[in-house]
Amino acid sequence: MCGRYTAGRAATFDELDEHRFGHGKDVAAALGRWNVAPRQQIAVTERAQDGTRTARTARWGLLPRWAKTSRDRFQPINARSDKLEASKLWRSLLDDPAHRVLIPADGWYEWLHSETKKEKPAPFVHQVDRGAWFGFAGFVNTTRVDDLPDPITTTVILTTEANGPASRLHERMPVVLAGPEEEDAWLSPEVSGLDALALLQPLADDRLTLAPASKLVNSVKNEGPELLDPDAEQASAQSTRDGLRPAGAVRDD
């Protein structure tokens, strides 16, 4: 975890706080989405040399510097914050502020598994401050691979121990940086890797809410705000029986 998230409540970066998440070309397609999945291009925010923030896209699933092709088997989508110091790869990214990024989001999904195999796991959407935008802590890495003409930038979301609400579904949760000061510090070239590591804490319990979501989110082809509606799957099935278009719009990313 986290393996799916939402970035749906803004259609463009102009609708976000530019000071917080930056502004960049060709990142609009990474917003207005309710079912963001691994191996897709997502928006990341980094600190420019002049101190401002810029946005660009990166493929979710980090390729290490030694990867030979873009299809390398090692492409983690998450990295445990408590394992960063023990890994040469993660420690090198942690220590270099140029690799530390924010990943703007407004929610993420986790699944409650049934005690019986017959029933599909039930998805729940996790939201911060009742649906506000926030920043996951992440790393980016740009590397050259043999099967692409240009360098590829990829990214990973960091995880930490689950807080109280999140622990009902999973023992881990993504790192949601607590606020503007923590986001500044995470991106700052003046903050050492050790000090940056201290920022990777579970979110306060009272800031996180969980709500049932639609099982339509199980397919990456389904997209749209109706994925937050737990009754959307039933409505989609009824629409199909009635000869109508399913509720979830299809996106071929």
Spatial CB neighbours of 184, under 8 Å, sequence gap ≥ 6:
none
Q: Considering the domain 5-213, what is its CATH architecture?
A: Alpha-Beta Complex (3.90)
* CB burial string 14-26: b at 16+ within 10 A, e below: eebeeebbbbbee
- Output phi, psi for 178, to 5 deg: -65, -30
Q: Identify the segments of the chain with pLDDT beneath 50.
A: 236-253
Give dist(CA 180, CA 125) in Å, integer: 23
pLDDT tens, 127-177? 999 999 999 999 999 999 999 999 999 999 999 999 999 999 999 999 999
Record the pTM: 0.89
Q: What is the DSSP letter of 176?
A: B
Burial tier of 132 (Cβ tally within 10 Å: 0-12, 13-18, 19+): exposed
pLDDT for the residue numbered 114: 78
pLDDT for the residue numbered 115: 77
Give dist(CA 120, CA 117) in Å, integer: 7
Give dist(CA 80, CA 99) in Å, integer: 16
User: Cβ distance 239 to 245 under 8 Å?
Assistant: yes
pLDDT for the residue numbered 234: 60
pLDDT for the residue numbered 25: 72
pLDDT for the residue numbered 105: 95
Q: Which of 95, 45, 81, 107 is nearest to 201 (CA)?
A: 81
Domain residue limits, the chain: 5-213, 219-253
